[in-house]
Amino acid sequence: MKKVLLTITYNGHNYCGYQLQNDKPTIALEINRATKEAFGFDCDVKGCSRTDSGVHALGFCVTVEPKNECDEITVPLDKIPIAMNIKLPSDISVLSAKEVEKNFHPRYDAKKKEYVYKIHASKIRNPFYSNLALEYGREISDESLEKMTRAAAFFKGTHKFDAFMSVGSKIEDTERTVYESRVERNGDLVEFTVIADGFLYNMVRIMVGTLLFVESGKILPAEIPSIIESRKRDNAGFTAKPEGLYLKKIYYDC
């Protein structure tokens, strides 16, 4: 096998995001270390995205290939998750492995990405959601949920999402297509799911902050289109905390 695509899941609380950083704990650092120990040689590891510090993943994808052309991954595909997980910390797990073409890239070949943001909507703190959901501190009524749902629907379509990008970001092409945008209740959890062809820096977290402004009455659902059209960050809501955010799935053609 020349190149392998891994699907991994992780709790990002103890990490400074996915990307390698000098002297800081990251997901990429652990994956690099585990591949070397599992396969016996250095590997070139590429990720599908850059998740921020504290952000989680349910279906993050990375490719792994030997750095030296003389080396080859000989561990059977169905045994790679086991071999890797023995070497990884308990908050990172490889779910599956598949062989891909040499020119496959986990980021540039992604057709769509799906994120979910979890809000614990209760007056009572739940310790089992600690660092795994945003503690909102109060309940979200059915009426407010309906307003959030109407507001979220306006995100769908192709727009320039400057208003939902962190100030200081150097990205110039801010046009993205959102295919799905919905808010649902799951017990005490209110979950925002969004699927798009790509995302700007902190885009999902700003969308969530905007929806929570809708919930609190600071923004009306019908104002979302004008906020998008304004392309001004100040018109949207706050940036929600990272602990509620999960990269759920990467969509590929292969």
- Give the tokens for residue 6: 């891994």
- 42 carries an active-site annotation: no
- Of 23, 42, 44, 52, catalytic: 52
Residue with token string 């980021």: 107
CA–CA separation, 70 and 253 (whole Å): 29
Interior angle at CA 235, CA 229 and CA 239, nearest 5: 115
Angle of helix 142-153 versus helix 203-216 axis, rounded to 10: 140
Structure tokens at 181: 């945008």
Residue 235 contacts residue 206 (beta carbons within 8 Å):
no
Beta strand 56-66 with 92-99 is unpaired
C-alpha distances in Å from residue 234, one per residue of 26, 167, 202: 31, 9, 14
Q: Which of 1, 73, 86, 2 is nearest to 40 (CA)?
A: 73
CB 176 within 8 A of CB 155: no
Strand partners, 92: 10
% helix / strand / coil in the chain, to the nearest 5? 30, 30, 40
**Enzyme catalytic residues:** 52
